[in-house]
Amino acid sequence: MNETTLFTRLRETAGKDWAEFTNHKFVKALGNGTLAEPCFRYYLIQDYLFLFHFSRAYALAAYKAETIDDLRYAAIAINNIVDVEMSLHVEYCLGWGIAAEDLSTEPEDVATTAYTRFVLDCGHRGDLLDLATALAPCVAGYAEIGRALAVDSGTVRDGNPYVSWIDMYASDEYQKVSGDSVTQLEELADRRGGELRFNALSQVFNQATRLEKGFWEMGWNQQKL
Amino acid sequence: MNETTLFTRLRETAGKDWAEFTNHKFVKALGNGTLAEPCFRYYLIQDYLFLFHFSRAYALAAYKAETIDDLRYAAIAINNIVDVEMSLHVEYCLGWGIAAEDLSTEPEDVATTAYTRFVLDCGHRGDLLDLATALAPCVAGYAEIGRALAVDSGTVRDGNPYVSWIDMYASDEYQKVSGDSVTQLEELADRRGGELRFNALSQVFNQATRLEKGFWEMGWNQQKL
Amino acid sequence: MNETTLFTRLRETAGKDWAEFTNHKFVKALGNGTLAEPCFRYYLIQDYLFLFHFSRAYALAAYKAETIDDLRYAAIAINNIVDVEMSLHVEYCLGWGIAAEDLSTEPEDVATTAYTRFVLDCGHRGDLLDLATALAPCVAGYAEIGRALAVDSGTVRDGNPYVSWIDMYASDEYQKVSGDSVTQLEELADRRGGELRFNALSQVFNQATRLEKGFWEMGWNQQKL
Amino acid sequence: MNETTLFTRLRETAGKDWAEFTNHKFVKALGNGTLAEPCFRYYLIQDYLFLFHFSRAYALAAYKAETIDDLRYAAIAINNIVDVEMSLHVEYCLGWGIAAEDLSTEPEDVATTAYTRFVLDCGHRGDLLDLATALAPCVAGYAEIGRALAVDSGTVRDGNPYVSWIDMYASDEYQKVSGDSVTQLEELADRRGGELRFNALSQVFNQATRLEKGFWEMGWNQQKL
């Protein structure tokens, strides 16, 4: 399998779901700066709760490690989320008027529960490849969204309060995190018979993609409230 | 701890959430026969998908068994769901014009994913008592709903297409299943320090209760579509 | 993959380890009736402890089920072990002067701990195919041992206290259990890319085979004590 | 529960098993420098394999995290094992003539399999407190052994090839790691009803202690070969 085969095929097969996730109106509104602030605030809080369970998913990957390299890769991801991403998140939220103590006491939205626990269950039920496949839409999807917004002529930079969010996911650092995760996915696919498991993996990828779309929906729907 | 202490306290502490789950307008509409049929059909299909993952939760309980009795209790629950409940469900759905093959191919609703995977994650993350606590609102809640509808003066029997559903959950058989599950919960609480863990268990119970309420919401919202 | 391909290849690749397990001096001594009784008694007790964790392994398989058939297959195995095998074991042990209450209070031998927990860890770490592969040497190995002893000219029937043990594993019932487990293994191999995962699966199979050999060693070594 | 209550009680209750582990003849022979070198070499190799699965146990603890602090504590432990201890181990083994590539290709001894997989199963089957209890004899036991050897009048320093091993476990750094793990255990006991679960936790602690003793036995027995 060449380096990007599995991810490329999964992404293509997710077709309409992938497009609806990566081009969601929430995403467009981040780009042109028109997103209602309550939507973004709600999203930020849920994303913080999400990150906690996402780091638990990488911990599960570390438990499932077959090699020292697997273990190291997952341990770096845990540290990255806990020490870097979650700290940045707290700081970032502060800038949006959300206090640190509010982050962990907010009730978890059903969309957050559904997505995070689905990924964890994929990991327990299947193997490392199933888990990496369930994690892929988030990591690689955000990189794709960040990069697309950064180059999109419709993206507004002046006065757009969401520019720093776009810049973070468009950054070389985040693009590398995403690139490494795709490389890891391909390596696992080679090792664990991915080529013969495409249909089942594709179902996992599609459901995770729909749950990502549901996460934007959740944020978007806050404007009606 | 006396026999029903933990469950009684959990149920009371869940307060408003428990009331909103057990007295949901979906439940009332089952009782007076006014529930729109598409709502019930959608609910039936999702409940079938739900049961599959619920039997996986009892399988997890069997894995976590500390005694032969734990193992036997969980094995009986798996068999009961797989061989009795799911078969009854298939048959019942047929009566509502839903073919068996449609049951397993329908996409899983986010409310179904959230509830089932939350329960499974509680089981993996914690111990048998955490798992039993996450399972309790469903089993004991349906028994309470069934019994309440059966004696409610607002319940219509003549021409109510949902009478057989009410009768199933009000039946002595189901009441016994529920009673046994509460007994098992109390036994686990005695064995695993439940008295000192009330606050954490209560959080699990409340979140499961809210996700049960979300399951009715999901069905109810089908009438708008 | 044709019906017996994966198992046949795993068994052949296990070569010397498989031969040392299935032709162990403990096995030969069961056949000719010369096994020291303390060895057999110790083995019986440890085998009872083993069965409990083995049924937990099938519970884990039920949790990991991808289809209703997976769930049913595992549920039958749990029930078979808990309700049939363990009950027979208790009765059988009684005939050897081992009281039921002694069975669950005996300390677990390191060989028992190693084998049972290795299988469980394979199941958590990998997928259903890894788990089925770790379980295979026991189920299929005992069937092969029983059948081989039943037809071996060196096997003594008159006055051999181990004849009923041989007959049980040589029986059509047990041969069917074993045959079904091989069929299930092949089915999982087809579904989960077994053909491309042979080397890793072979390592799991070999380690489980060595741990089975260690289980006979454990029994055999009781005569020195 | 005061800060050291649970660990102190577990250690006292383990009585003879704890003494046989911490005062094992392998330990004494490390102290006076008389341990046969093949015993130590075999132990070193198995300890490397052990560390890999031990870091998987901390990964499981990270997955089971209930708070960010739980996650951080476990993530630090994983990194400490993978980046510090295992690297030191590779270097240390080199000094004993064991090449890095031999470390991961050596077959795992049954004593290594039994101990590591037992700990992992305790973690999956129970909660964070069960897992921390199963990990405790190793971490706290090695600290106790290191400190005791460092002050023991029977310990030989001149010409003792095992002095660096003793110094490592007697070091302030390692004593702190052990102290922190006991603090974490007490904190979990407070949070998860440890006081009411003493008997069950004590059984886990005792079995882990016996498996630690079995690990020394494994090393010691190499001199007969």
Name the phi and psi angles at A127, rounded to 5: -115, -170
Residue among B56, B75, B83 minimizing CB distance to C63: B56
C117-149 pLDDT tens trace: 999 999 999 999 999 999 999 999 999 999 999
pLDDT exceeds 80 at position A197: yes
Would you say D123 and B124 are in contact if contact means Cβ atoms under 8 Å apart?
no
Residue B108's nearest CA partner among C23, D199, A17, A114 is A114
Would you say D62 and D71 are in contact if contact means Cβ atoms under 8 Å apart?
yes
Span between the terminal Cα atoms of chain A, in Å: 48
Question: What is the predicted pLDDT for the residue at A223?
Answer: 87
CA distance D149 to D31: 6
Question: What is the predicted pLDDT for the residue at B50?
Answer: 97
CA distance A165 to A145: 11
Question: What is the predicted pLDDT for the residue at D137?
Answer: 98
**Rg (chain A; Cα; Å):** 17
Residue B215 Cα distances to B115, B117, C111, angstroms: 8, 13, 47
Please, which pLDDT band fits residue C104 given cuts at 50, 70 and 90? confident
CA distance A23 to A17: 10
Residue among B64, B66, B193 minimizing CB distance to D192: B193
Would you say A89 and A48 are in contact if contact means Cβ atoms under 8 Å apart?
yes
Task: Output the average pLDDT for chain B.
Answer: 95
Question: What is the predicted pLDDT for the residue at B4?
Answer: 53
Would you say B203 and B10 are in contact if contact means Cβ atoms under 8 Å apart?
no
The pLDDT of B5-25, averaged and rounded, is 97
> Is residue D63 less than 8 Å (CB to CB) from chain A?
yes
Residue from B127, B195, B207 whose CB has the most chain D CBs within 10 Å, to mutate: B127
Report the half-sphere exposure of C7 (CA within 13 A, side-chain side). Answer: 23
Question: What is the predicted pLDDT for the residue at C3?
Answer: 46
Question: What is the predicted pLDDT for the residue at A84?
Answer: 87
The interface predicted TM-score of the complex, written ipTM, equals: 0.95
C18-67 pLDDT tens trace: 999 999 999 999 999 999 999 999 999 999 999 999 999 999 999 999 99
Q: Could D110 and C214 be called an inter-chain contact, meaning their C-beta atoms sit closer than 8 Å? A: yes
pLDDT exceeds 60 at position A8: yes
The pLDDT of C144-156, averaged and rounded, is 97
Which amino acid, residue A1?
M
Contacts D116 to A, Cβ<8 Å: none
Q: Could D79 and A79 be called an inter-chain contact, meaning their C-beta atoms sit closer than 8 Å? A: yes
Which run of H or of E encompasses C87? Answer: helix C86-95
Which amino acid, residue D165?
W
Contacts B63 to C, Cβ<8 Å: 56, 59-60, 63
Residue among C62, C68, C104 minimizing CB distance to B59: C62
A-contacting residues in C 116-175 (Cβ below 8 Å): 124-127, 130
pTM: 0.97
Question: What is the predicted pLDDT for the residue at A225?
Answer: 61
Please, which pLDDT band fits residue B1 given cuts at 50, 70 and 90? very low
Token code pair at residue B80? 């009961």
pLDDT-wise least confident of A11-25, A85-99, A179-193, C206-220: A85-99
Please, which pLDDT band fits residue B104 given cuts at 50, 70 and 90? confident
pLDDT exceeds 70 at position B89: yes
Question: What is the predicted pLDDT for the residue at C202?
Answer: 98
CA distance C157 to C30: 10
**Residue C111 Cα, gap to closest chain B Cα (Å):** 20
Q: What is the CATH number of domain C5-224?
A: 1.20.910.10
CB-based contacts of D14: which residues, under 8 Å, 6+ apart? D137, D202, D205, D206, D209
Residue B35 DSSP class: S
Q: What is the number of CB-based contacts under 8 A between chain A and chain D? A: 60
Architecture field, domain B5-31+56-224: Up-down Bundle (1.20)
CA distance D132 to D142: 15
Residue C2's nearest CA partner among C190, C192, C137, C205 is C190
Report the half-sphere exposure of A2 (CA within 13 A, side-chain side). Answer: 3
A148-196 pLDDT tens trace: 999 999 999 999 999 999 999 999 999 999 999 999 999 999 999 999 9
CA distance C170 to C151: 9
Q: Could C59 and B56 be called an inter-chain contact, meaning their C-beta atoms sit closer than 8 Å? A: no
> Is residue D110 less than 8 Å (CB to CB) from chain C?
yes
CA distance B59 to B111: 22
Would you say D135 and D181 are in contact if contact means Cβ atoms under 8 Å apart?
yes
Residue B191's nearest CA partner among D117, A16, D85, D126 is D126
The pLDDT of B124-147, averaged and rounded, is 98
Question: What is the predicted pLDDT for the residue at C138?
Answer: 97
A128: closest chain C residue by CA: C126
Question: What is the predicted pLDDT for the residue at A4?
Answer: 53
Count of CB atoms within 10 A of residue A199's CB?
A: 9
3-state secondary structure labels for all residues of chain A: CCCCHHHHHHHHHHHHHHHHHHCCHHHHHHHCCCCCHHHHHHHHHHHHHHHHHHHHHHHHHHHCCCCHHHHHHHHHHHHHHHHHHHHHHHHHHHHCCCCHHHHHHCCCCHHHHHHHHHHHHHHHHCCHHHHHHHHHHHHHHHHHHHHHHHHCCCCCCCCCCCHHHHHHHHCHHHHHHHHHHHHHHHHHHHHCCHHHHHHHHHHHHHHHHHHHHHHHHHHHHHHHC
pLDDT exceeds 70 at position B26: yes
Residue among C66, C124, C197 minimizing CB distance to A193: C197
A118: closest chain B residue by CA: B117
Rounded to the nearest 5 percent, the helix, strand and coil shares of chain C are 80, 0, 20
Token code pair at residue B94? 């047929």
pLDDT exceeds 50 at position A1: no
A128-146 pLDDT tens trace: 999 999 999 999 999 999 9
Contacts A118 to B, Cβ<8 Å: 113, 117
Q: Which mean pLDDT values do the consecutive 10-residue runs of chain D (225 residues) have? A: 76 97 98 97 96 97 96 94 90 92 90 98 98 98 98 96 96 96 96 96 98 98 82
Which of residues B204 and D2 earns the better pLDDT score? B204
The pLDDT of A81-104, averaged and rounded, is 90
Question: What is the predicted pLDDT for the residue at C225?
Answer: 62
Residue A125's nearest CA partner among A136, A115, A114, A117 is A117
Question: What is the predicted pLDDT for the residue at D159?
Answer: 96
